[in-house]
Amino acid sequence: MSQVRENRVLKAASEGRIAKGYNLTFPSVHNIEILGRLDFDFVWLDGEHGPFGYTELEEQVRAIEAAGATAVARVENVEQSTILQYLDRGIQGIVGPHISSGEDAEALAHACYFGPIGQRSFGGNRGTNYTFTPEPWGDKTAYYKDSNDNMLVGALLEDQGAVDNIDDILAVDGIDHFGIGPNDFAQGIGYPGQPEHPDVVKVMDELSSYIRSKGRKMTADIMSSVWIHELLLKSGDAFLSGE
């Protein structure tokens, strides 16, 4: 029996289906509890742009787990100390922003996994069951493996460097999916504010096709999500429209 909470995104992938979730851009355990009545696979927390302190982050994760979903977060950078704070709160999916080189990809993967895959540090917080794994300070070999098996790692490509160094990035093991942030990507290749420009769309499509041709997954291949503000606005609009 696994010592670690099952990652529902990875489980969905193993079942051949795309996991469904929503993106939360601000702390709200109430929204998580309400939407927990539905069977979402994951909740994606925007730690890069959202106002999530580590205390608020942990509160969201508790609510997500209580709802039976998996907590995924975009972090503000791929520094090992930054990612560790998210993992120690209980996050089981990390999305690293601005991955533009093999070194960036390697830093991301190494921070997310315990050895022998990576260099994640073990601490006595809720992300590691407060050291009860299964007994305090016992042999954690099985726990390390279970944690690694249930860790979801995504790389967000947002710069010209991602295009120039894509082979180096793809050479790094341990990254489950790749996404493209269209707004930052457009800016990164010289089209600020124009994510729908034909040249930007062309490069994004070519990059996505190339990644898939190498046997790797884009985020859309394993996860489908909606922004929380879109859910609120669509519901409100439907009500006002009498639909």
Q: Convert the pLDDT of each residue in 210-219 to its tens digit.
A: 999 999 999 9
pLDDT at position 199 is 98
Q: How confident is the model at residue 243 (pLDDT cuts 50, 70, 90)?
A: confident
**Residues 174 and 118: beta-carbon distance below 8 Å:** yes
Two tokens at 77?
């950078």
- In the prediction, which pLDDT does 1 show? 58
Look at residue 231 and tell me whether its pLDDT is greater than 80. yes
The rounded Cα 54 to chain-centroid distance in angstroms is 16
Q: Where residue 137 falls among pLDDT bands split at 50, 70, 90?
A: confident
Whose CA is closest to 71, among 80, 199, 161, 56? Answer: 56
- In this prediction, residues 149-177 reach a mean pLDDT of 98
Tell me if 126 sits within 8 A of 90, measured CB to CB.
Answer: yes
Distance CA 6, CA 137 (A): 22
DSSP code of 207?
H
Helix (H, G, I), strand (E, B) or coil at 99: coil
Q: What percent of the chain has pLDDT over 90?
A: 92
Report the pLDDT value the prediction gives residue 197, as an integer from 0 to 100.
Answer: 98
Q: Tell me the per-residue pLDDT of 103-125, one tens digit each, with 9 for 90 and over.
A: 999 999 999 999 999 999 998 89
The candidate with the shortest Cα–Cα distance to 167, out of 181, 178, 152, 151, is 178
pLDDT at res. 135:
73
Q: Above 80 in pLDDT, residue 141?
A: yes
Confidence of residue 3 (pLDDT cuts 50, 70, 90): confident
In whole angstroms, give the CA distance from residue 182 to residue 194.
Answer: 9
pLDDT at 81: 97
Residue type, 118: G
Domains of the chain and CATH, by start:
8-241 (3.20.20.60)
Contacts of 228 (CB under 8 A, 6+ apart): 22, 23, 24, 25, 26, 28, 31
| Mean residue pLDDT across the chain | 95
The H or E element containing residue 42 is strand 42-46
pLDDT tens profile 38-80: 999 999 999 999 999 999 999 999 999 999 999 999 999 999 9
Find how far residue 106's CA is from the centre of its chain. 16
Tell me the pLDDT tens digit for each residue of 74-100.
999 999 999 999 999 999 999 999 999
